[in-house]
Amino acid sequence: MKLAVLDGRTPVVVTEDRAVDVSAVIGVTAGFAGPWGDWLERGHDPGELRDLDLAGLPTVSLDEGRLTAPLARPRKIVAAPVNYLDHKIEMSEQKSVADYGVFLKAGTSVIGPREVVELPYEDLRTDQEGELAVVVGRTARHVTADAALDHVLGYTCGLDISLRSTEDRSTRKSFDTFTPLGPWIVTADEVPDPDALDLRCWVAGELRQETSTSELLFSVRELIAYASSVMTLEPGDVILTGTPAGVGPLRDRDVVRLEIGSVGTLEVTVSGAPAVPYASRPRGRAALAGGAR
């Protein structure tokens, strides 16, 4: 089952070329998380979707231009740095996720399909990082790797847009527009093994990234188990599982296309129009005292 959102407010289940409006079944609220996130936050269990009767519900044409982020503003976006060996080598890293642990990204960084990634600085490199994203469906705390997938609602495509600067990961990866998600959430029952999915990412027509999630250093199961040993994972949280080699600079008007196995295809464009010089950012007293560049 594919769970999507149209126009930022209408929850739909996608079936082939049509979308079934399930507003009357799951309800629609004005919460920040969007209809599916609000549904989870109200205590609904993913297992309820198995009994969802689509017969007689209204359908609408699936115009991809109307698709918005399936989760508008997750409570937490938990991300894994350096979780592929080839990316570790590419970035000349001495450590991996096993050493760094996970980091958090701002929920306000989320955008959806066909939206625009805005480059913040004109003189620093900003890269694409294509990743499998896991959507938590049940509260998880100290779960084992064997039980981890029982806590998953489903999977979606994610881009962890990354500024190459000196700041902490949570800062340089949390700019508004830096976490595209979509086009929908594919429920876990349709992805028998999240550790066996092909991933490809193109930028401006160039294939930059190509791998299988079987190459993850921390598998999806292990990553969920690890994250839940640190923090309580709540329904609607998103886990970005890490990116393979092939990251590279984004430029104005680039089109980024991420394709993941049976999960789907996410496409966004890039704009350099808002970019300013890095030196113009707020710098505080440390800069005045010569303590920061």
**Domain residue limits, the chain:** 2-68, 77-275
pLDDT value at residue 51: 86
Assigned CATH topology for domain 77-275: Fumarylacetoacetate hydrolase; domain 2 (3.90.850)
pLDDT value at residue 197: 98
pLDDT value at residue 290: 61
Determine contact, residues 55/64, Cβ cutoff 8 Å: no
- The whole-angstrom separation of Cα 43 and Cα 233 is 14
Token representation of residue 165? 């600067």
Q: 276: how many CB neighbours lie within 10 A of its CB?
A: 12
Mean pLDDT score across all residues of the chain: 93
Q: What is the percent of the chain with per-residue pLDDT over 70, rounded to a whole number?
A: 97
- The whole-angstrom separation of Cα 4 and Cα 150 is 21
pLDDT value at residue 289: 64
* Whether pLDDT at 62 is above 50: yes
pLDDT in tens, 94-119: 788 899 999 999 999 999 999 999 99
- Lowest mean pLDDT of 23-27, 168-172, 217-221, 276-280, name the range: 23-27
* Whether pLDDT at 43 is above 50: yes
Average pLDDT of the residues in 147-156: 98
pLDDT in tens, 183-235: 999 999 999 999 999 999 999 999 999 999 999 999 999 999 999 999 999 99
- The vertex-243 CA angle with 239 and 245, nearest 5°, equals 175
Beta bridge partners of 180: 111
177 versus 51: the higher-pLDDT residue is 177
Q: 26: how many CB neighbours lie within 10 A of its CB?
A: 20
pLDDT in tens, 236-264: 999 999 999 999 999 999 999 999 999 99
Q: What is the percent of the chain with per-residue pLDDT over 90, rounded to a whole number?
A: 77
Q: Is the pTM of this model over 0.75?
A: yes
* Whether pLDDT at 291 is above 60: no
* Whether pLDDT at 56 is above 90: no
Identify the band that residue 287 occupies on the pLDDT scale cut at 50, 70 and 90: low
